[in-house]
Structure 1
Amino acid sequence: MNENLPPPAPAINDWLIAATRRLSDIGIATARLDAELILAHTLRVSRTYLHAHGDDNLDDRQLEIANARLDLRLDRVPVAYITGHKEFYGKLFHVTTATLIPRPESESLIDLLRLALLETPTVSRLVDVGTGSGALGITAARLFTSLDVTLIDNSHQALVVAEKNLHQQAVEARLLHSDLLEDYSQTADIIMANLPYVDRDWERSPETDHEPAEALFASKQGLALIERLILQTPNKLAINGHLILEADPVQHRSIIEFAKNYNLQHRQTEGYGVWLQKLR
Structure 2
Amino acid sequence: MTIFEALKLSRAKLAGAGIESASLDASLILSYLTDLTKVQLITHDTDELSDETVNHLNELIEKRISGYPIAYILGYKEFWGLKLKVTEDTLIPRPDTEIIVQKALDCKVHGPILDMGTGTGAIILALKSEYGDAVEAYACDISKKALNVARENARTHSLDVTFIESDWFSALGDKKFSLIVSNPPYIEENDPHLTKTSLPYEPISALTSGSDGLDDIRIICADALSHLESGAPLLIEHGYNQGKSVATIFTENGYKNVETIKDLAGNDRVTIGFLI
Indicate the TM-score class for this superposition, using the shorter chain for normalisation. over 0.9
Contact map agreement 1:240 1:277 (CA 8 A) in 2: no
* Cα distance, 1:160 vs structure 2: 0.4
1:173 is matched with 161
TM-score, reference length from structure 2: 0.92
SS in 1 for 2:120: coil
* Cα distance, 1:270 vs structure 2: 3.1
Post-superposition CA distance 1:56-98 (Å, at most 9, x none): 2211222122122212212211011111100001111001100
Whole-Å Cα distance in 1 between the matches of residues 79 and 65 of structure 2?
Answer: 24
* Cα distance, 1:55 vs structure 2: 2.0
Whole-Å Cα distance in 1 between the matches of residues 135 and 61 of structure 2?
Answer: 41
The alignment yields a C-alpha RMSD, in angstroms, of 1.4
Q: How many residues align?
A: 267
SS in 1 for 2:88: coil
1:133 is matched with 120
* Cα distance, 1:240 vs structure 2: 0.8
Whole-Å Cα distance in 1 between the matches of residues 211 and 225 of structure 2?
Answer: 22
AA at the equivalent of 1:199: E
Deviates further, 18-27 or 97-106: 18-27
1:3 is matched with none
SS in 2 for 1:240: coil
Whether 2:170 is the aligned partner of 1:182: answer: yes
AA at the equivalent of 2:233: H
AA at the equivalent of 1:76: G
Q: 1:252 aligns with which of 243, 253, 258?
A: 243
AA at the equivalent of 2:65: L
5+ residue gaps, structure 1:
1-9
AA at the equivalent of 2:151: E
1:5 is matched with none
Post-superposition CA distance 1:11-39 (Å, at most 9, x none): 11211111111112221111111111100
SS in 1 for 2:230: strand
Q: 2:46 aligns with which of 38, 55, 73?
A: 55
* Cα distance, 1:268 vs structure 2: 4.7
TM-score, reference length from structure 1: 0.91
Whether 2:37 is the aligned partner of 1:46: answer: yes
1:77 is matched with 68
Q: 1:270 aligns with which of 252, 262, 267?
A: 262
5+ residue gaps, structure 2:
none
SS in 1 for 2:178: strand
1:163 is matched with 151
1:87 is matched with 78
Identity among equivalent positions (%) equals 26
Q: 2:198 aligns with which of 203, 207, 217?
A: 207
Whole-Å Cα distance in 1 between the matches of residues 206 and 271 of structure 2?
Answer: 21
Whole-Å Cα distance in 1 between the matches of residues 198 and 221 of structure 2?
Answer: 30
Contact map agreement 1:238 1:278 (CA 8 A) in 2: no
Whether 2:123 is the aligned partner of 1:142: answer: no
Whole-Å Cα distance in 2 between the matches of residues 66 and 100 of structure 1?
Answer: 24
1:12 is matched with 3
Q: 1:242 aligns with which of 228, 233, 257?
A: 233
Deviates further, 64-73 or 39-48: 64-73
Whole-Å Cα distance in 2 between the matches of residues 200 and 51 of structure 1?
Answer: 45
SS in 2 for 1:238: coil
